[in-house]
């Protein structure tokens, strides 16, 4: 596999569920990102990891919990979400925290 | 403003030129980027321009940069139906992070 892979592609969850989104990059990069894409709004940068260390947390609610066990893998753990959290969640990677970023195809999340 | 701004929609006829506009916020952004998102996919880097350039041309794509007005545009010549997608402009700011606009949905009419 090449590039940035995200699983699952689609996820439907209730407000009381716990689920996780997974991202894996095969580009040898050392920085990884989570973005949220909602209709008619700018992409929102959520979290940034550099060499497995979190360097950015842009005021994201604690119901979103990121995890970066190594430079190739990134998770987003979800619990007690709200319907307004329904969106496309995009993972990206880069080398040395320098753009450009390379994106995965995203996970379409629906919270019911 | 605080956000990168783009129009939400643009429709053009096949064969015409498309011009997608963007206003960014940080004059110190060293590079500015255009990304393309096709249906069901993530964002794909289309092109970029260094901030000390006014123009960059790459085949059918022309990027124009007006630093004084913080205005970036992407021109697609001879637009094809395969160009239908959402186009995002992005700037670098705040510790080397990429900040994006809302995206402009380009619809090409056959």
**Tens digits of residue pLDDT in B55-95:** 999 999 999 999 999 999 999 999 999 999 999 999 998 87
Question: How does pLDDT run along chain A (112 residues), one tens digit per residue?
Answer: 569 999 999 999 998 889 999 999 999 999 999 999 998 889 999 999 988 788 777 789 999 999 999 999 999 999 999 999 999 999 999 998 888 999 999 999 999 9
Question: What's the alpha-carbon Rg for chain A, to the nearest Å?
Answer: 13
**Tens digits of residue pLDDT in A76-95:** 999 999 999 999 999 999 99
Interface touch A42/B41, C-beta < 8 Å: no
For chain A, give the number of residues: 112
Q: How confident is the model at residue B1 (pLDDT cuts 50, 70, 90)?
A: low
Nearest residue to B86 via CA among B73, B105, B99: B105
What does the block give as tokens for B67?
């630093």
Per-residue pLDDT at B106: 98
**Residues of chain A contacting residue B88, judged by C-beta atoms under 8 Å apart:** 43
What does the block give as tokens for B85?
């997608």
Per-residue pLDDT at B3: 86
Q: How far is Cα A111 from Cα B20, in angstroms, rounded to an integer? A: 33
**Residues of chain B contacting residue A25, judged by C-beta atoms under 8 Å apart:** none
Per-residue pLDDT at B2: 79
Q: How far is Cα A76 from Cα A55, in angstroms, rounded to an integer? A: 15
Q: Which residue of A has its CA nearest to B105?
A: A40
């Amino acid at each position: 596999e090449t590039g940035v892979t995200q699983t699952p592609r689609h996820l439907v969850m209730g407000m009381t569920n716990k689920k996780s989104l997974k991202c894996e990059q095969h580009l040898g990069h050392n920085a990884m990102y989570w973005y949220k894409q909602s209709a008619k709004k700018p992409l929102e940068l959520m979290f940034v990891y550099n060499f497995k260390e979190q360097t950015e947390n842009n005021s994201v609610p604690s119901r979103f919990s990121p995890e970066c066990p190594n430079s190739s893998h990134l998770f987003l753990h979800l619990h007690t979400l709200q319907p307004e959290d329904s969106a496309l969640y995009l993972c990206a990677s880069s080398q040395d925290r320098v753009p450009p970023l390379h994106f995965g195809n995203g996970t379409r999340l629906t919270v019911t | 403003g605080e956000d990168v701004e783009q129009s939400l929609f643009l429709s053009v006829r096949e064969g015409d030129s498309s011009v997608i506009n963007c206003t960014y916020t940080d004059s110190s952004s060293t590079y500015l980027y255009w990304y393309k998102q096709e249906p069901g996919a993530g964002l794909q880097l289309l092109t970029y321009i260094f901030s000390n350039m006014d123009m960059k041309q790459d085949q059918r794509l022309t990027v124009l940069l007006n630093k004084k007005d913080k205005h970036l545009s992407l021109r697609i010549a001879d637009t094809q139906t395969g160009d239908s997608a959402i186009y995002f402009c992005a700037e670098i700011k705040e510790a080397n992070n990429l900040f994006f606009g809302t995206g402009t949905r380009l619809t090409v009419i056959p």
